[in-house]
Amino acid sequence: MLKKKTVVELGNLLTIESLTCNTIHNLIDRAESFAHTPANSVDSLLSNKVIANLFFEPSTRTQYSFEIAAKNLGANIISPAIYNLSTLKGESLLDTIHNFEAMGVSLFIVRHNVNHTPEFLSSELNGGAKILNAGDGTHQHPSQCLIDLMTIKQHAKNFEDISVAILGDVFRSRVARSLISGLQIMGTTDIRCIIPEPLIPEHQEIDSKFCTHTIDSGLKDADVIVCLRVQKERMQDNYKLDEDTYFKKYALTMDRLKLASHNAIVLHPGPINRGFEIDSLVADSDHSMILQQPKNSIPMRMAILHSLLT
Amino acid sequence: MLKKKTVVELGNLLTIESLTCNTIHNLIDRAESFAHTPANSVDSLLSNKVIANLFFEPSTRTQYSFEIAAKNLGANIISPAIYNLSTLKGESLLDTIHNFEAMGVSLFIVRHNVNHTPEFLSSELNGGAKILNAGDGTHQHPSQCLIDLMTIKQHAKNFEDISVAILGDVFRSRVARSLISGLQIMGTTDIRCIIPEPLIPEHQEIDSKFCTHTIDSGLKDADVIVCLRVQKERMQDNYKLDEDTYFKKYALTMDRLKLASHNAIVLHPGPINRGFEIDSLVADSDHSMILQQPKNSIPMRMAILHSLLT
Amino acid sequence: MLKKKTVVELGNLLTIESLTCNTIHNLIDRAESFAHTPANSVDSLLSNKVIANLFFEPSTRTQYSFEIAAKNLGANIISPAIYNLSTLKGESLLDTIHNFEAMGVSLFIVRHNVNHTPEFLSSELNGGAKILNAGDGTHQHPSQCLIDLMTIKQHAKNFEDISVAILGDVFRSRVARSLISGLQIMGTTDIRCIIPEPLIPEHQEIDSKFCTHTIDSGLKDADVIVCLRVQKERMQDNYKLDEDTYFKKYALTMDRLKLASHNAIVLHPGPINRGFEIDSLVADSDHSMILQQPKNSIPMRMAILHSLLT
């Protein structure tokens, strides 16, 4: 049975910074509980709740991860093809949301390419519906962060004593930004950001919390390596490298993995570019948690949805 | 509990003219009943019924309003992306419908840009499946009309003594056409159509039931103002106005609203063009029922679906 | 009640050749049982199972036939718009599948334009999820074959003594390829393939099991005629015929139908091209089983899904 004490009630889920260390531990416990509870004992927890997936950027895995999690709890979930339709008639984003709210939607799962859109929407909603940020621009992706923290917790005794290396376009990654904050909330201090030179923006203000490293020093004895997806269109023009050169200079290969702790785990938010930012040998190795993350995504998102809607 | 006596059995729902005053009152009563009934007491009323949303024109709000209403009653609803797929293989519309009917679909919710398509389809179906017209060309939109009548009834003592002003492209609006007929069925006689000059078609036969007015005379002491969405592509070439000029000359502004009854209500089928056909101050005022309409859409569409499928 | 003894447990469903005559008879019995069982007695047989429709080729009828069948059994089914999204981020097909499997999907219904893709995927899945081939290239379409065999069985005393004529692009039709194998498994020996000249590929190796005929000899006394959809883009350049000429020379018309057995039945996998490969008079005649096939598709696909997931 689900333990009542682990139920956290959330207002919205906009940023990982809105959660305390204690709340995050409770959400992870709740997710572990869902992972080990028979499906038929939870499949009416959110019956009669209407949830709307509003993905203004297309996404396969995140959208369907939420859809499966919602259905597992018996909720009705609608996924309007909003990136096609909303602009067709010029309706404003806010009017769309208010309309769905009037129709009984009590939670909006929002992905948008503009930073802070979920916060803007939550500030305008006053009828009781909540907002779950499923990724906004380069800003935040708190549910992914919770999945990653759950995955890390399954392999580390604690958060305080681990070394975490994040490899990739850290400056513009909402996954990295959320994870760094999430780890800091959990007490992790040794966080190394490894940003390949072609991905360093030209006029970037360096946030004081980003502690940058070379690949070798960053991976040295790391317990957790988070490899980010490279979006080729973001590379600086004068650094436009072919995949082979990028792979040789910056990818997470077996040789580089050997620099890390001998039982280091590798995370990647997916989808992975095999042979580009990560070697298939690494992605398919025992160190890889790359399929553990989508596996954890279902119970964690069930925990989040349940906390938001009860 | 739902009162048995309010259940109306409908054949198809093709036009508002097919309904009597008594049937419409019963549907509104039924919708009010659904609006105040706990969700879990009605969520299996249509279990094991298969409904197909066939939207040959894209739509966000109408399609998902029906989807939410259907799921609230426990029905299975499928929403094929028919505007992409149906023409891809050249299959005829009727063969598509017959195929879905053979697969067990008992109700088709049809939106099509050609007038009378739902009637054509209903005349060809002989296996027991029903048709609900969700908007055909410039002809009819009966479920929207029922939502609007429900909204009006919530604010008026009766239909006989109210003045209703309809502002916009009345000649080509299926919403206006259905509403005028619906109001006439309910006993309303004072219906004023206000059609901005750029939207008057060149060779339009004026239907005798359209009683046209200037803005000032049309809004004078009106109890209900229905503001229609302007579709810019329909404006005559020699009247192509910029939004500002149209707004100044024809939009529903606070100043114009003052001409109406002091407790007048404002309806709009949505999505609204803020600052074009309607001032945000009006849309967001206490007079506005623009969010009450989508709110009413769910229980009214539940009432319609239930009446069609029981 | 459903008879326990008719439940067949299937591993995957990749080709019709993987099934025995006995298994096919059992699946047909099971489908007939579903067709005559009240919906509410089977609507939780697959509750808490997650099924993914992965259609890399668009399809209306097959996709929604599976969706209705799955929902009739209470399963959760997701239908990602995978032909848009999967290539958008370059994720490999296999990584997509593994991700959905990690999220709890236990059955993938796969349509793909490359032959043997479902077999490839099934060989790579080792976590327990199964694959149902919903059509791969010109290779196989086993669930369609089972529907066709069920339809034939409803009208023939046995499979051994019937004559079956298949008219159309047999060489490149996965429907024909599966049906020929399926009929052979069931004991049918008199199978005639009638391939209009414009559809004969230039360098085709003739499979020994294809016994080709002229239209007249092929249709002579046939008990079952399967008319295939003509895909115009597959015609040889030097044979590009207009529809009228093709119709006159090769279509299934009432005159040609008279060559067959007096109670012959006509099947077509749909969608039909009226006036091209088939005369509307034939398609709408008493001989036509063209709407019986989608009707049978629901209970047969329920039987298949149930056999795969229990």
pLDDT value at position B1? 42
A108 to chain C, closest Cα gap in Å = 19
A115 plus A187 within the same structural domain: no
**Closest-CA residue in chain A for C104?**
A295
| Candidates B76, B84, B95; nearest CB to C271 | B95
Residue A136 structure tokens: 């906004």
8 Å CB contact of A103 and B292: no
Residue C128 contacts A where some CB pair is shorter than 8 Å: no
Predicted confidence band at A164 (pLDDT cuts at 50, 70, 90)?
very high
A positions 142-181 inside 8 Å of C (CB):
none
Query: Cβ A72–C96 below 8 Å, yes or no?
Result: no
User: For A19-28, A157-166, C209-218, which range has the lowest pLDDT when averaged over its residues?
Assistant: C209-218
Sheet of A265-267: strands edge to edge? A212-213, A190-194, A163-167, A224-227, A265-267
Sign of the Cα pseudo-torsion (A69, A73, A74, A75, in order): negative
What pLDDT score was predicted for residue B232? 72
CA distance C125 to B189: 69
Boundaries of domain holding C224: 156-288
In one-letter notation, the amino acid at residue C230 is V
Inform me whether the C-beta atom of residue C76 falls under 8 Å from chain A C-beta atoms.
yes
From CA B38, how far away is CA B43, in angstroms rounded?
Answer: 9
Q: How confident is the model at residue A6 (pLDDT cuts 50, 70, 90)?
A: low
Residue found by looking up tokens 């069982």 in the block = C37
Inter-residue contact B283 to B229 (CB < 8 Å): no
A59–C104 CB contact, under 8 Å: no
A78 and B64 in contact by Cβ < 8 A?
A: yes
Give the span between the Cα atoms of A196 and A274, in whole angstroms. Answer: 17
What backbone torsions phi and psi does residue A231 show, to the nearest 5 degrees?
-100, 110
What spatial distance separates the first Cα and last Cα of chain B, rounded to whole Å? 17
Partner residue facing A103 (CB), from B59, B271, B298: B298
Residue B84 maps to a domain: yes
Residue B143's closest CA among B308, B15, B7, B235? B15
How far off is chain A from B79, nearest CA to CA, in Å?
11
User: Chain C closest CA to B303's CA: distance in Å?
Assistant: 22
3-state secondary structure at position B247: helix
**Measured distance between the N- and C-terminal CA atoms of chain A, rounded to whole angstroms:** 17
Domain membership flag for residue B209: yes
d(CA B246, CA B168): 11
Residues A262, A299: one domain? no
Same domain, C171 and C283: yes
Q: Are residues C188 and C132 in the same domain?
A: no
C-chain residues near A229 (CB < 8 A)? 89
- Across the interface, whether the CB atoms of A91 and B270 are under 8 A apart is answered yes
- Give the pLDDT confidence score for residue C87 in this predicted structure: 47
Whether B150 is in a domain gets the answer no
CB pairs under 8 A between A and C: 70
Among B40, B272, B297, the residue with its CB nearest the CB of A103 is B297
List, as ranges, residues 179-208 from C with C-beta within 8 Å of B.
none
Distance from CA of A105 to the nearest CA of C (A): 20
**Is A90's pLDDT higher than 50?**
no
pLDDT for the residue numbered C2: 47
Return all residues near A108 (Cβ < 8 A) that are at least 6 apart.
A51, A52, A54, A97, A100, A101, A121, A129, A130, A131, A132
Q: Does residue B204 share a domain with residue B102?
A: no
Q: How far apart are CA A226 and CA A177, in angstroms?
A: 12
Task: Give the closest-approach CA distance of C123 to chain A in angstroms.
Answer: 16
Q: Are residues C253 and C303 in the same domain?
A: no
User: Does C106 have pLDDT greater than 90?
Assistant: yes
Whether residue A222 lies inside any domain: the answer is: yes
Q: pLDDT at residue C259 above 80? A: yes
The nearest alpha carbon in chain B to A127 belongs to B291
pLDDT tens string C12-42 = 999 999 999 999 999 999 999 999 999 889 9
Order of strands, sheet of B130-136, starting from the edge strand that comes earlier in the sequence:
B76-78, B50-55, B105-112, B130-136
Phi, psi of B193 (to 5 degrees): -100, 125
Distance CA A33, CA A25 (A): 12
Question: Between residues C7 and A295, which one has the greater pLDDT?
Answer: A295
Q: What is the pLDDT of residue A236?
A: 62
Gap between the Cα atoms of B102 and A79, Å rounded: 27
pLDDT value for A208:
56
Distance from CA of A85 to the nearest CA of C (A): 15
Beta-bridged to residue C105, according to DSSP, are: C50
* C151, part of any domain: no
Q: Are residues A282 and A210 in the same domain?
A: yes
Which residue among B39, B295, B297 sits closest to A48, beta carbon to beta carbon?
Answer: B39
CB of C85 within 8 Å of a chain B CB? The answer is: no
Query: What is the biggest distance separating any 2 CA atoms in chain C, rounded to whole angstroms?
Result: 58
**Strand segments (E) across B138-233:** 163-167, 190-194, 212-213, 224-227
Asked if residue C238 has pLDDT above 80, the reply is no
What is the ipTM metric for this complex?
Answer: 0.92
Contact partners for chain C, using 3 or more CB pairs closer than 8 A, are A, B
Angstroms from C101 CA to nearest CA on chain B:
24
A33 and A131 both lie in a single domain: yes
Of B47, B76, B90, the CB nearest to C68: B76
Q: Is the pLDDT of residue A64 over 80?
A: yes
Q: Please indicate, yes or no, if residue C149 is contained in any of the structural domains.
A: no
- Using the beta-carbon criterion (under 8 Å), do B271 and A95 form an inter-chain contact? yes
- The answer, for A129 touching chain B at a CB cutoff of 8 Å, is no
User: Using the beta-carbon criterion (under 8 Å), do A60 and C80 form an inter-chain contact?
Assistant: yes
Task: Report yes or no: B66 at the C interface, CB cutoff 8 Å.
Answer: no
Lowest mean pLDDT, pick from A35-39, A243-247, C150-154, C273-277: A243-247
Q: Is C91 in Cβ contact with A270 (below 8 Å)?
A: yes
Query: Residues 42 to 61 of A: which have CB under 8 A from any B CB?
Result: 47-48, 50, 52
Q: Is residue B231 part of a domain?
A: yes
Would you say residue A150 lies in a domain? Answer: no
Are C26 and C133 in a shared domain? yes
pLDDT at B127: 74
- Residue A18: give its domain's CATH number: 3.40.50.1370
Count CB neighbours of A145 within 10 A: 27
Mean pLDDT of A82-106: 74
CA distance A13 to chain C (A): 22
Residue A231: Cβ within 10 Å count? 14
When mean pLDDT is compared across A184-193, B5-14, B119-128, C77-86, the lowest value belongs to C77-86
A39 at C interface, C-beta within 8 A: yes
Question: How many independent structural domains does chain C possess?
Answer: 2
pLDDT of A205 higher than 70 = no
Kindly give, in sequence order, each residue whose CB lies less than 8 Å from that of residue C202, ignoring residues fewer than 6 positions away: C236
C-beta of residue B245 within 8 angstroms of C-beta of residue B198: no
Sign of CA dihedral A214, A219, A222, A228: positive
Lowest mean pLDDT among A101-105, A141-145, A272-276, C174-178: A272-276
Is residue B8 located within the same domain as residue B136? yes
A274: chain C residues, CB-CB within 8 Å: 92, 95
β-strand pairing of C105-112 with C50-55? parallel
Asked whether residue C275 falls in the same domain as residue C298, the answer is no
| A54 and A110 housed in the same domain | yes
Distance between CA atoms of A264 and A164, rounded to whole angstroms?
A: 10
CA within 13 Å, CB half, C88: 11
The minimal CB distance from A88 to the residues B58, B81, B298 is found for B58
- The predicted model gives A209-213 an average pLDDT of 68
CB contact under 8 A, A67 and C89: no
- Structure confidence at residue C90 (pLDDT): 42
pLDDT at B60: 82
- What residue type is assigned to position A284 of the chain? D
Give the residues of chain B that fall short of pLDDT 50: 1-3, 85-90
DSSP three-state, residue B165:
strand
